Structure 1
Amino acid sequence: MSAAPAAPRPASADADGLELLLVPPRSRPAWRLVPARVVAMCVVELQKLRHDRTELYTRAIQPALWLLIFGETFTRINVIPTGGIPYRDYLAPGIIAQSTMFIAIFYGIHIIWERDSGVLTKLLVTPTPRAALVAGKAFAAGVKAIIQAVVVVLIAALLGVSLSPNPARLLGVLAAVLLGSAFFSCLSMTIAGIVRTRDRLMGIGQAITMPLFFASNALYPTASMPGWLQAISSINPLTYEVNALRGLLLDLPARLPLDFAVLLVAAALGITAASALLGRLSR
């Protein structure tokens, strides 16, 4: 009797990439093991883009409208003090930060879907540390945000925004977007670990995105805000991301060491919080 044919290999991105995490790790120091697992988790997440790129295309519509309508209109009105910079140029880094935040802030929906489909349970029994799982997902969100940022930069260039072509500065832009998106995706995963349902996460995500956006300097200088809003802006990581992007893209004076230090600390705290709640989400 002939042997039964082998079952076909699943075609989903999760099945394609999950094997990267199921392989027992070779004996190696922790400082090498954790980064390797973060990269593996990031690859698993990015493989999903092969199957559905719709999100990347549709997410480009909103920043294009902000730059084309809001930016052009307020450039003509000239009512927001920008230090002599055309408002459209001043706005572009803020819209980059906004669009990448909007991608990352709903990332917790993906992990709830993985919980419902059983993928999260499989991930948690792999030898990969939880912090590496969360960091991999966070930085995968950052890579998606970088793709979004490139789209916004191209749109801004087509509209005549004067952006720095310095390669070193552009690398700094990618780093700022990566860290900012990592924090907001971890914030979303942390909220997911608390509320544990997609409907609640969607509601909270929609409730906090615009306040985070308006309580930053993406649209207007911090000095133009009332005192209480300036206090909120000073602890808003989006403010420091916008500061870094504005300094790098527009060649403006910036406190880049402070901006990147805040983004690094925020991303580390976000990974820690999301990792602590990952087990609760799986129950």
Structure 2
Amino acid sequence: MTQQEPGVLLNGWVRTKATRKHNFISAISELVFKTFAIAELEIRKLRHDPTDLAVRAVQPALWLLIFGQVFSKIRAIPTGGNLPYLDFMTAGILAQSVLFVAIFTGGMTLIWERDLGIVHKFLASPTPRVAMVLGKAVACGVRCLSQVFIIYGLALLLGVKLNLHPLAIIKVLLIVLMGASCFCIFSLIIGCLVKTRERMTGIGQLLTMPLFFASNAIYPISLMPNWLKFISHINPLTYEVDALRGTMLLNGTSLYGFGLDCTVLLLTLIILTLICGKLYPRVAM
């Protein structure tokens, strides 16, 4: 009876060790697959309450129809160049709409799922925590895409000169997806910490308006005092608005450039995802 050589299976096949490259590709593919699986579950919720998309469109419509029309008439806020104020603020109102939807969707949904016991089931599964976070962020981004078409429709009715080139529209959709994902994960982080719907609602209302007004959404950064300029430069919403203003408007310009705006949003998304992935298990405690 001969002794079997080490490293050889009973069927005679040689045992091969998985390479690091193979393991890395498998991990990435699994992360992507489970992220989209979570996103698909979240998007299905829209079938139960599709009116939520229409309700979310009321606030940006009021901003454009009332605030934008009034300030366009009095010309109180300079925009630089020959860009009309209504054109200037259209990109900011789109970013504001995305911000509000993301903040009040992420954390509130997480706490609601915790109360129903859904989060506990996900945490007991082998799904990576990062995939859970990114899945919800992607779903929120898809939800916010409806705001793009609503704002575009209102802007065209009001005479805003939009850039309707297909590439420009694709860039706008990309920026909206990234911006919504960033603020959705930010909301998830808050939801992991506060754990109650009442606190989440209060903190969400407390954060949305400062984030909005400490950006270049409705007035240029040059009009801000120095302390507010500093906050604006570290506010991700500023870069989202800048990218939208330079892309969706026919005569729009970008202060930082589309590449830098995307880089800032992407880095913010990665950092917030890693933080939220670490905090996610706290929801079930």
Is the structural similarity TM-score above 0.5? Answer: yes
1:31, distance to aligned residue in structure 2 (A): 1.7
Q: Which runs of 4+ in 1 moved over 3 A?
A: none
Asked if residue 129 in structure 1 is aligned to residue 131 in structure 2, the reply is no
CA distance in 1, matches of 2:155, 2:184: 25
CA distance in 2, matches of 1:158, 1:253: 22
- Please provide the CA RMSD for this pair: 1.2
CA distance in 2, matches of 1:87, 1:125: 52
Q: What residue is the counterpart of 2:59 in the other structure?
A: 62
1:119, distance to aligned residue in structure 2 (A): 0.6
In structure 1, the gaps of 5 or more residues are 1-27
Aligned residue for 2:68, secondary structure, equals: helix
1:149, distance to aligned residue in structure 2 (A): 2.0
Alpha-carbon contact 1:42-1:139 (below 8 Å) kept: yes
Q: What residue is the counterpart of 2:260 in the other structure?
A: 258
Post-superposition CA distance 1:41-99 (Å, at most 9, x none): 11000000011012111111110010000111111101111122111111100000000
CA distance in 1, matches of 2:94, 2:149: 9
- List aligned pairs for 1:1-283, cutoff 5 A: 29-83=26-80, 84-106=82-104, 107-251=106-250, 252-254=252-254, 255-283=257-285
Post-superposition CA distance 1:253-276 (Å, at most 9, x none): 321111000000111111111111
May I ask how many residue pairs the two structures share in their alignment?
257
Letter in 2 for 1:66: W
CA distance in 2, matches of 1:154, 1:253: 21
- Normalising by structure 1, report the TM-score: 0.89
Larger radius of gyration: 2
CA distance in 1, matches of 2:213, 2:193: 25
Q: What residue is the counterpart of 1:13 in the other structure?
A: none
In structure 2, the gaps of 5 or more residues are 1-24
Q: Which moved more, 1:243-252 or 1:59-68?
A: 243-252
